[in-house]
């Protein structure tokens, strides 16, 4: 029996997607999704933040549509990266590597996540 690594997630973009290119010319898109879950005790939405990476034509073709506040569904797989920071400390980060992205609606500023990722949220993976 083989292992299974599949994730499907729907949320809103916390910022416009960032597209960069590798030295070989492949497009790499990075974005962060905020997914809210209602907390009955606190009586408010509690967001969780997930990093998503898109490669190649998927990143290029969707770049102009992946705007802050847009609601999307991503399906893909989880990937853990490990590296050492400048001080030699081992760091790790789990990202979603997108296979497909479905646009669910236009960016709507009144519906974008009301909270930004926490200040200690790691976003220094080199790529």
3-state helix, strand, coil in the chain (%, to 5): 10, 50, 40
Q: List, for residues 5-16, the tens digit of each pLDDT value.
A: 999 999 999 999
Sign of CA dihedral 52, 28, 6, 120: negative
Instruction: Calculate the average pLDDT of the chain.
Output: 86
Interval 21-39 mean pLDDT: 94
Q: Is the pLDDT of residue 30 over 60?
A: yes
CA proximity to 13, closest of 73, 55, 67, 63:
67
Residue 63: band (very low, low, confident or very high) from pLDDT cuts 50, 70, 90: confident
Taking the alpha carbons at both ends of the chain, their separation in whole angstroms is 33
Q: Are 113 and 68 in contact (CB under 8 A)?
A: no
Asked if pLDDT for residue 84 goes beyond 60, the answer is yes
For residue 104, the number of C-alpha atoms closer than 13 Å in the C-beta half-sphere is 13
Host H or E run for residue 37 = strand 27-39
What's residue 1's pLDDT? Answer: 80
* C-alpha dist (Å) from residue 21 to 24, 27, 95, 110: 8, 5, 18, 32
* pLDDT at site 106: 61
- Residues 54-80 as b/e (b if ≥16 CB within 10 A, e otherwise) read beeebbbebbeebbbbbbbebebeeee
Model confidence, pTM: 0.76
User: Which CATH number applies to 7-108: 3.40.50.150, 2.80.10.50, 3.90.79.10, 2.40.50.140?
Assistant: 2.40.50.140
Q: What percent of the chain has pLDDT over 70?
A: 82
């Amino acid at each position: 029996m083989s292992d299974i690594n599949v994730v499907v997630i729907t949320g809103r973009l916390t910022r416009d997607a960032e597209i960069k290119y590798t030295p070989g010319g492949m497009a790499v898109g990075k974005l962060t999704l905020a997914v809210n879950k209602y907390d009955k005790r606190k009586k408010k939405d509690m967001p969780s933040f997930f990093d998503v990476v898109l490669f190649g034509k998927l990143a290029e073709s969707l770049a102009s549509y992946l705007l802050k506040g847009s609601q999307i569904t991503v399906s893909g797989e989880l990937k853990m990266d490990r590296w050492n920071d400048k001080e030699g400390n081992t760091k790790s980060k789990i990202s979603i590597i997108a296979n497909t992205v479905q646009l669910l609606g236009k960016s709507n500023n009144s519906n974008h996540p009301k909270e930004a990722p926490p200040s200690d949220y790691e976003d220094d993976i080199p790529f």
